[in-house]
A = this chain, B = another copy of it.
Amino acid sequence: MKDYEKTFKEFKNYLKKIEYLNSTEAVLYWDMRTVIPKQGVPYRGEVLSYIGEQKYKLLTSDIMKNYIEYFEGIDDLDPVTKACYLNCKKEYEKQKKIPKDRYTAYVLAASESEAVWEEAKEEKNYEKFKPHLQKIINFQREFIEYLGYDKDKYNTLLDDYEPGITVERLDTIFSQLRDAIIDILNKINESSVKINTDFLMGKFDKKDQEKLSLYILHKMGYDMDRGALAETMHPFTIKMGSDDVRLTTHYYENDFRSALYSCIHEGGHGIYDQNIDKSLYGTLLSEGASMGIHESQSRFYENIIGRSLEFWKCFYGETKKIFPQFNNVPLMDFYKGMNEVKPSLVRTESDELTYSLHIIIRYELEKELINGRLSVDDVREEWNKKYKEYLGVTPKDDEEGILQDMHWSDGSFGYFPSYALGNLYGAQFLHKMEQDIPDLYSQLEKGNLAFIKEWLNKNIHKHGSLYKPEELIKLVTGSELSAKYFIDYLYKKYSKIYNF
């Protein structure tokens, strides 16, 4: 036993308290989204803020500082101990650099801003939200000054969600991706293939939708004995502990695709969180490696698996049993219907191909806003211009335009790129998976999803956040992150469907 191991054990006992508070926050939050009565919300805010304070105290205490300094002085730390203390150090410094009163002011401003955004969206009135957006951006810029930045101010925000990624790299990767998608879009527009989706509309009983969702989640390997599925307005995944990772979805009775794909998507997140190695418990490393890596898992299941022909070859039968209205729809019509490309205005309703364009637009605007090169007065015009240019569509109002996402209202600048990065990571993982498992597609056709989960568990999930995303992608695939794999995947998929 190395000398420091005893201290590390003590340190983990300390960190466990933070994990207990994380778990507590998760339960309070889940409850707030799923059952809390209307009038219980304000008090819940007070409770959450009290729990948050206790966590802040533990994260920034002298005890924490002493542990960090202790481990900093040791050269031959094992990888887990090293990653653990470095992670704490990063968090400690970040929390210490931002003055507490400024952070409190920001939390207040963000919660106000979120409330105003909701009203403004309903009223389709960007002007109402604009002063709050300005306030939130000011806070972000102020915090970046405290935290410092390298080359581009936006890098500091990116680091919160995707450690290691920079504007420089994103500019390159995203412009390749954007050009490729626009090229494919043009080919699709010129294609003579017309896809029928009429049969996808109808009446889909909620209970039946739930049945199909649970069936697919079970097949994917999401463990219901360590999870739960509830309904909320906006679907999400939340972890109360390694053995308690829950999902939510939303059912629309006129369109069964929404709940189904949000279940598969959240199921991907859930399978990740359920399969992080238990030895990482108590180190604060039993989280996903980054938001981008997390999204890679959800989008891998949702799109690469869940919208593939092989998947539907296997599961169309069960689907028809639950929804007999598809009995007269041939498999290929159904598959194509599920994969129709149609540039649209709302990110969350977009198809697999154009989704990333929605993200790239947001990335390009955020970067400019944060660097002060674009003002809140001009951002709406810029938004509409980019939608016209990339997707050929123009919002008829602010609700389906600049006010559609809540992210800017609650200060999540730097988050959007994770979604597109998830697509890229996912396709790069797929490329490696195809090499490792030669009969991948024939297995998938048989509905054997267990081997996919096994591969992801072994290569990605178990590591938690032991590795940075850039280390992980290299460790798993042997190469650095590249847009190439996703672009190849898109060409291959859509050239078959649209015959180009």
Contact = CB atoms under 8 A, between A and B. Distances in A.
Interface residues of A, number: 36
Contacts of A46: 20
Nearest to A38: B225
Given A27-B27, A27-B28, A31-B27, A20 B47 contact: yes
B225 A35 contact: no
A24 interface: yes
A142 B24 CA distance: 33
B37 A226 contact: yes
A35 B246 CA distance: 10
Interface in A11-65: 17, 20, 23-24, 27-28, 30-31, 34-40, 42-44, 46-47, 50-51, 54
A267 interface: no
A180 interface: no
Interface in A234-285: 240-244, 246
Interface string A151-175: 0000000000000000000000000
Contacts of A28: 24, 27
A98 to B, nearest CB: 24
Nearest to A224: B37
Contacts of A226: 37-40
A225 B42 CA distance: 13
Interface of A: 17, 20, 23-24, 27-28, 30-31, 34-40, 42-44, 46-47, 50-51, 54, 223-228, 230, 240-244, 246
A241 B50 contact: no
Given A27-B31, A35-B246, 12 more contacts: A20-B46, A27-B47, A34-B35, A35-B230, A36-B228, A37-B244, A38-B225, A39-B225, A40-B240, A40-B244, A47-B241, A54-B54
A217 to B, nearest CB: 13
Contact of A43 (B35, B44, B242): B242
Nearest to A46: B20
Given A30-B31, A44-B244, A244-B44, A51 B39 contact: no
Given A27-B28, A27-B31, A47-B23, A40 B243 contact: yes
A489 to B, nearest CB: 35
Nearest to A281: B43
A241 B28 CA distance: 13
A242 B40 CA distance: 8
- Copies assembled: 2
A224 B35 CA distance: 11
Contacts of A20: 46-47, 50-51
Choose among A40, A42, A242 the residue with the greatest number of B CB atoms under 10 Å from its CB. A40
A306 to B, nearest CB: 23
A43 B240 CA distance: 9
A230 B34 CA distance: 12
Nearest to A51: B24
Given A24-B24, A47-B23, A54-B54, A243 B30 contact: no
Contacts of A227: 37
Contacts of A31: 27, 30-31
Contacts of A17: 50
Contacts of A242: 43
A116 B28 CA distance: 31
A228 B51 CA distance: 24
Contacts of A51: 20, 24
Contact of A243 (B27, B37, B224): B37
Given A50-B17, A54-B54, A244 B24 contact: no
A232 to B, nearest CB: 13
Given A20-B50, A30-B31, A31-B27, A43 B243 contact: yes
A123 to B, nearest CB: 24
Nearest to A19: B47
A236 B246 CA distance: 24
Contacts of A223: 39
The list of the 6 closest CB pairs from A to B, nearest first, reads A40-B244, A43-B241, A39-B243, A20-B50, A39-B226, A20-B47
Contacts of A54: 54
Contact of A24 (B38, B47, B240): B47
Contacts of A225: 37-39
A248 B204 CA distance: 30
Nearest to A50: B20
21 contacts: A17-B50, A23-B43, A23-B47, A24-B47, A24-B51, A27-B28, A35-B230, A35-B246, A36-B240, A37-B225, A37-B226, A37-B228, A37-B243, A38-B226, A39-B223, A39-B225, A40-B241, A43-B241, A43-B243, A44-B244, A54-B54
